[in-house]
């Protein structure tokens, strides 16, 4: 396999893996409503929880997290095998996985918000970032009770955190690029939530419909 073909394979496999709509699959297996039919109409863990309950939502969250982990591992293996910088190939594969999750070819280019899949990539590429970003997300969630706002703050803070780690030689430039791109993808995927936040109509955790 040539280096160019290896990079294409890592990105292609990452996208197809990320595009698996586990929220839809789990809903079908559970015999419950399709998450695309209610709430935000997204397929991620948060909307699956609304559709099927917390247990099924957690299962979807773990599966979406695993997509990022597997995409990173595949990218590292392919990069090493074809003689390319493994961290860059893995970053490309993980970006593709988040893109696939947000815009899945299997369900008409719809999908989730990309948070869990992005976190899976961080878990392999630069786990130290999660040690800082997760508490930021947690604080915002506890204070505001807005899942969307907490997720957006995670997307915004991740590139800054990884840049700081890179400046102290605890992350690579590929990690910074990954954090910047997936951070932007996550924020853009929350565009409708941000519009509702500005309008004062976004739902908080525990609020009634």
Phi-psi region of 62 (alpha: psi -120 to 50; beta: other; left: phi over 0): alpha
Q: Is residue 79 part of a domain?
A: yes
Record the tokens describing residue 199, joined without a space.
Answer: 């309008």
Record the tokens describing residue 105, joined without a space.
Answer: 């070819």
Q: Is residue 163 part of a domain?
A: yes
Q: How confident is the model at residue 64 (pLDDT cuts 50, 70, 90)?
A: very high
Give residue-wise pLDDT tens across range 28-56: 999 989 999 988 899 999 999 989 999 99
pLDDT of residue 1: 78
Segment 58-83 mean pLDDT: 97
By the 8 A CB rule, do 90 and 75 touch? yes
Gyration radius from the chain CA atoms: 17
Q: Domain residues for 119?
A: 3-199
Q: Is residue 152 part of a domain?
A: yes
pLDDT of residue 208: 58
Q: What is the pTM of this model?
A: 0.95
**H-helix segments, the chain:** 3-18, 22-30, 45-52, 54-82, 86-102, 115-125, 127-144, 147-167, 173-189, 191-199
Q: What are the beta bridge partners of residue 110?
A: 104
Q: Is residue 206 part of a domain?
A: no
Q: Is residue 103 part of a domain?
A: yes
Distance (Å, whole) CA 63 – CA 61: 5
Q: Is residue 148 part of a domain?
A: yes
List of residues 6+ apart from 82 with CB closer than 8 A = 1, 2, 3, 5, 6, 7, 89
Q: Is residue 204 part of a domain?
A: no
């Amino acid at each position: 396999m040539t280096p160019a073909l290896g990079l294409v394979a890592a990105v292609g496999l990452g996208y197809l893996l990320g595009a698996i709509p586990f929220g839809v699959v789990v809903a079908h297996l559970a015999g419950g409503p399709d998450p695309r039919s209610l709430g935000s109409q997204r397929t991620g863990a948060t909307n699956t929880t609304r559709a099927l309950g917390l247990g099924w939502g957690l299962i979807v969250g773990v599966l979406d997290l695993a997509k990022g982990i597997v995409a990173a591992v595949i990218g590292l293996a392919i990069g090493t095998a074809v003689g390319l910088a493994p961290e860059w190939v893995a970053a490309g594969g993980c970006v593709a996985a988040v893109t696939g999750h947000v815009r899945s070819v299997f369900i008409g280019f719809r999908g989730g918000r990309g948070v869990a899949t992005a976190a899976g990539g961080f878990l392999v590429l630069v786990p130290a970032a999660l040690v800082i970003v997760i508490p930021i997300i947690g604080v915002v969630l506890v204070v505001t009770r807005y899942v969307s706002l907490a997720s957006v703050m995670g997307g915004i803070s991740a590139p800054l955190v990884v840049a700081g780690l890179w400046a102290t030689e605890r992350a690579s430039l590929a990690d910074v690029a990954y954090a910047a791109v997936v951070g932007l993808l996550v924020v853009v995927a929350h565009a409708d939530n941000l519009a509702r936040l500005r309008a004062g109509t976004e739902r908080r955790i525990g609020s009634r419909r």
